[in-house]
């Protein structure tokens, strides 16, 4: 009864991927987290303490159930012939959108059933994908993404922990079978084996990192400004997915058709008011400008040389501008 009413409420606010599980994680999962850490293949963006990542009771005393929700984000097709953002960074930052949905369901649970709730998306210590798998939302693809039936892997994940007991879903097993398209196509071979991403090599990580980007990495970035969708774009389960019903994820002209002159000459205020609203904004103006400079170097278009020259007096961007100018001149 409680379960049906929560699902019904979630549906009424546009959420059709929702599942329920217990609060315990397998040894197999904990071992995998440890293994990734000891191999030095974590990105540094996740919580590296595997004990914290599975300690649900620390987050809510008396916790009994985890509720996972997935919200779809595929909207328009990306034009990859000019510098572009990954699909997950179009429109309004998903943390804001997801938080709002999780808050709404949590309030419903508290008001209707007196259940206490806490909720998380992305930045908490929990592992959103393992939770989604436990809740039967989808299965792990070999590219490590959670793949749902309706929206493929183009979903964001979030979870609510509650002290109510709610009937559990059944976990789904991987349906990748012998397909290895995602592994074969990864430009940096970051998917070192099925279900195993060396995050340090992943282009999504490279576009977000603070450290210096090497010449080889710059080459591989191509026209990517933030994130990478390559391993998802080839996935057969992503071919005929339903588009997002969430208006906030549809891109505005300025983040779909990014003007290099505008991005490279933006004031901090302009940046905050535009990219600051997206999930790409957290890396800051300089990193996004760095990525644009690298993309222009990879564009093969000499017309950008004068624009790049205007960045030669910027302490941080100079290094990348010089490289891109050289590349475009064919030196
Ligand atoms: C750190 C991080 C990154 C890092 C590292 C990604 C990674 N795969 O670890 C970087 C910056 C590279 C990244 C990139 C992206 N990310 Co990210 N990221 C995270 C974050 C914050 C933590 C992930 C984590 O803990 N990784 C650590 C390692 C150990 O975990 P893992 O790779 O997931 O490993 C699991 C599987 O491989 C599996 N496994 C291992 N062996 C086996 C064997 C079998 C048989 C099976 C079935 C499974 C299995 O178990 C491992 C542990 O459970 C989560 C949010 C969160 N708090 O959970 C978002 C999250 C995973 N990211 C997300 C997204 C959308 C992306 C991008 C698509 C963004 C983009 N367009 O660039 C890419 C996808 C790249 C990819 N192929 O993973 C979504 C994923 C949604 C989904 N459908 O799966 C999340 C959940 C954010 C959210 N709340 O929606 N991300």
Give the mean model confidence (pLDDT) for residues 83-97.
Answer: 96
Boundary-marking domain end, from 102, 131, 162: 162
- Is ligand 1 within 6 A of the CB of residue 25? no
- Is ligand 1 within 6 A of the CB of residue 186? no
Respond yes or no: is residue 331 known to be catalytic. Answer: no
Say whether both 119 and 205 belong to one domain: no
Say whether both 128 and 221 belong to one domain: no
**Among protein residues, the one whose CA lies closest to atom 40 of ligand 1:** 195
* Rounded to 5°, angle at Cα 149 from 146 and 153: 35
134 Cα: distance to centroid of ligand 1 (angstroms)? 15
Burial of residue 125, with CB atoms counted within 10 A of its CB: 0-12 exposed, 13-18 middle, 19 or more buried: middle
Structure confidence at residue 148 (pLDDT): 98
- The 10s digit of each residue's pLDDT in 215-232 is 999 999 999 999 999 999
Strands 84-85 and 224-226: parallel
Say whether both 205 and 298 belong to one domain: yes
211 Cα: distance to centroid of ligand 1 (angstroms)? 21
Distance CA 83, CA 258 (A): 7
Boundary-marking domain end, from 110, 133, 162: 162
Say whether both 51 and 158 belong to one domain: yes
244 Cα: distance to centroid of ligand 1 (angstroms)? 21
Say whether both 43 and 151 belong to one domain: yes
Decide if 216 is inside a domain: yes
Give the global pTM. Answer: 0.97
Say whether both 156 and 221 belong to one domain: no
Say whether both 155 and 186 belong to one domain: no
Q: Is a pLDDT exceeding 90 seen at residue 142?
A: yes
- Is ligand 1 within 6 A of the CB of residue 29? yes
Domain count, the chain: 2
Q: Which of 70, 128, 142 to mutate to test the pocket of ligand 1 (most atoms within 8 A of CB)?
A: 128
- Is ligand 1 within 6 A of the CB of residue 171? no
**Among protein residues, the one whose CA lies closest to atom 45 of ligand 1:** 195
pLDDT bracket for residue 253 (50, 70, 90): confident
Decide if 123 is inside a domain: yes
Report which of residues 206 and 1 the model is more confident about. 206
Give the mean model confidence (pLDDT) for residues 155-179.
Answer: 97
Decide if 173 is inside a domain: no
Atom of ligand 1 nearest to the CA of 155: 83
Q: Which of 33, 34, 46 to mutate to test the pocket of ligand 1 (most atoms within 8 A of CB)?
A: 46
Q: Is a pLDDT exceeding 90 seen at residue 252?
A: no
199 Cα: distance to centroid of ligand 1 (angstroms)? 9
Residue 227 · residue 212 · CB < 8 Å = no
- Of 122, 163, 169, 314, the catalytic one is 122
Q: Is a pLDDT exceeding 90 seen at residue 123?
A: no
Among the listed residues 221, 216, 200, 209, the one whose alpha carbon sits nearest the alpha carbon of residue 85: 221
Boundary-marking domain end, from 101, 131, 162: 162
228 Cα: distance to centroid of ligand 1 (angstroms)? 12
34 Cα: distance to centroid of ligand 1 (angstroms)? 15
Which two structure tokens, joined as six digits, stand for 51? 């004990």
Say whether both 188 and 131 belong to one domain: no
72 by DSSP, 3-state: which? strand
Say whether both 108 and 224 belong to one domain: no
Decide if 192 is inside a domain: yes
Calculate the average pLDDT of the chain.
96
Long-range contacts from 324-329, C-beta under 8 angstroms, 24+ separation: 324/293, 324/294, 324/296, 324/297, 324/298, 325/297, 327/297, 327/298, 328/296, 328/297, 328/299, 328/300, 328/301, 328/302, 328/304, 329/302, 329/305
Parent domain of 260: 181-329
Which two structure tokens, joined as six digits, stand for 125? 């210590």
Among the listed residues 254, 266, 326, the one whose alpha carbon sits nearest the alpha carbon of residue 294: 326
% of the chain residues with pLDDT over 90: 95
**Among protein residues, the one whose CA lies closest to atom 34 of ligand 1:** 144
Give the mean model confidence (pLDDT) for residues 81-99.
Answer: 96
Structure confidence at residue 168 (pLDDT): 98
- Is ligand 1 within 6 A of the CB of residue 156? yes
Give the mean model confidence (pLDDT) for residues 29-42.
Answer: 92
Decide if 174 is inside a domain: no
Decide if 227 is inside a domain: yes
Q: Which of 59, 97, 123, 129 to mutate to test the pocket of ligand 1 (most atoms within 8 A of CB)?
A: 129
Say whether both 151 and 207 belong to one domain: no
Decide if 85 is inside a domain: no
104 Cα: distance to centroid of ligand 1 (angstroms)? 25
Torsion of CA 141, 8, 248, 146, to 10 degrees: -10
- Is ligand 1 within 6 A of the CB of residue 86? yes
Decide if 196 is inside a domain: yes
Say whether both 213 and 97 belong to one domain: no
Say whether both 157 and 188 belong to one domain: no
């Amino acid at each position: 009864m409680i379960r049906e009413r929560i699902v019904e409420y979630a549906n009424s606010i546009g959420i059709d991927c929702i599942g329920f599980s217990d609060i315990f994680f397998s040894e197999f999962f904990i071992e995998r987290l440890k293994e990734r850490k000891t191999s030095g293949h974590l990105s540094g963006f996740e919580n590296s303490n595997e004990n914290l990542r599975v300690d649900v009771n620390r987050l809510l005393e008396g916790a009994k159930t985890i509720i996972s929700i997935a919200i779809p984000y595929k909207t328009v097709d990306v034009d990859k012939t000019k510098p572009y953002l990954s699909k997950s960074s179009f429109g309004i930052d998903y943390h804001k959108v997801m938080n709002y949905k999780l808050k709404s369901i949590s309030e419903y649970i508290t008001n209707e059933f007196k259940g206490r709730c806490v909720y998380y998306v992305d930045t908490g210590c929990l592992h959103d994908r393992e939770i989604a798998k436990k809740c039967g939302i989808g299965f792990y693809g070999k590219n490590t993404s959670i793949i749902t039936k309706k929206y493929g892997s183009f979903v964001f994940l979030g979870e609510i922990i509650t002290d109510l007991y709610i009937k559990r879903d059944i976990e789904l097993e991987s349906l990748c079978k012998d397909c290895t398209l995602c592994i074969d196509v990864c430009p940096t071979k970051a998917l070192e084996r099925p279900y195993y991403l060396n995050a340090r090599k992943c282009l999504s990580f490279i576009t977000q990192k603070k450290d210096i980007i090497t010449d080889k990495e710059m080459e591989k970035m191509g026209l990517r400004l933030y994130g990478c969708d390559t391993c998802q774009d080839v996935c057969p389960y992503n071919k005929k997915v339903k588009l997002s019903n969430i208006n906030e994820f549809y891109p505005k002209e300025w983040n779909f058709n990014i003007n290099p002159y505008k991005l490279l000459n933006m004031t901090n205020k302009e940046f905050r008011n535009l990219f600051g609203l997206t999930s790409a904004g957290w890396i800051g103006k300089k990193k996004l400008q760095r990525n644009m400079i690298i993309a222009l170097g990879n564009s093969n278009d000499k017309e950008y040389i004068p624009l790049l020259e205007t960045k030669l007096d910027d302490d941080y961007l100079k290094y990348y501008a010089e490289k891109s100018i050289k590349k475009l001149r064919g030196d």
